[in-house]
Amino acid sequence: MQRSAPRFSRILACAAVPVMLVAAGCSSGSDSGDKGSGSSDASSSVSATPTPSQSTKAVEPARYAKLPEVCKAISAKTIETLVPKAKNKNGTAAASSDVTSRGGCAWNGLEDKGVKGSQYRWLDVSFYRYASDATLGSGQERAAESYTKELAKVQATPGAKKLRTVAAPGIGDKAESVAFELRKTDEDFKYASVVARTGNVVVLLSFNGAGYAGAKTPSDKWILDGALKAAKEAVASVAAANQ
């Protein structure tokens, strides 16, 4: 079944919402050089003892020092299953000013089934790594704070209907899935997002799909199961990259 280029472009432009990757300041380099003040007294034989406020606060070291290659964080087999007609099977990487601290990748495609209509799919994953900082806290603590904020953002998706949040055990240290529906481009889209934390890294994953021109809308379960599978692979890739 043929479609005009403008129609296809409009589908791809509209279906990518919400985009999970945001320009978050995840790198945490902090100048923590000595800041002790006061000059030594030449007539005194005893060195001044730093007060508690002058001492450097000890924090737990960050668990992970780097991120995986983001577009390889999800297996080719999973991509083929979830986005069978991806325009770029290798994924499209998001721009990042610091790939050691944040990165993202996305796959999307429209599978034309002729008189049976078409199936659209979109999958994206984002990673945020937090370093330990004497002032801001450990990388794990900072990632836990980010996890809470990112989950709240997904739950506040404008226009979301039938939204439900469920714990996703077995994915990192903590994970939750958020499933909902959105009406876009005159079609009903099914969404499943997973927010996960593993050590000092937060992983955000979104998977959505819709049927066009009479094609059946994918089921809630299929979309959610796909998102959970991809999220589990993405989280596992963090540990693998740091071995």
Inter-residue contact 181 to 191 (CB < 8 Å):
yes
CATH topology classification for 59-241: Protein Transport Mog1p; Chain A (3.40.1000)
Spatial distance between the Cα atoms of 58 and 135, rounded to a whole number of angstroms: 10
In whole angstroms, what separates CA 64 from the centre of its chain?
A: 16
Inter-residue contact 134 to 30 (CB < 8 Å):
yes
In whole angstroms, what separates CA 79 from the centre of its chain?
A: 16
SS3 115: helix
Beta bridge partners of 137: 133
- Cβ-proximal residues to 103 (8 Å cutoff; 6+ apart), any chain: 67, 70, 93, 94, 96, 126, 127
pTM, rounded to two decimals:
0.78
Inter-residue contact 171 to 228 (CB < 8 Å):
yes
**Mean pLDDT per 10-residue section of the chain, whose length is 243 residues:** 46 49 41 39 40 62 97 98 96 94 97 89 98 97 98 97 98 98 92 98 98 92 98 98 96
Instruction: Give the model's pLDDT for residue 49.
Output: 46
Cis peptide before 18 (omega within 30 of 0): yes
Spatial distance between the Cα atoms of 50 and 42, rounded to a whole number of angstroms: 18
SS3 5: helix
Instruction: Give the model's pLDDT for residue 12.
Output: 52
Inter-residue contact 212 to 11 (CB < 8 Å):
yes
CA angle in degrees (0–180, nearest 5) for 152-95-147: 20
Instruction: Give the model's pLDDT for residue 116.
Output: 84
Inter-residue contact 167 to 173 (CB < 8 Å):
no
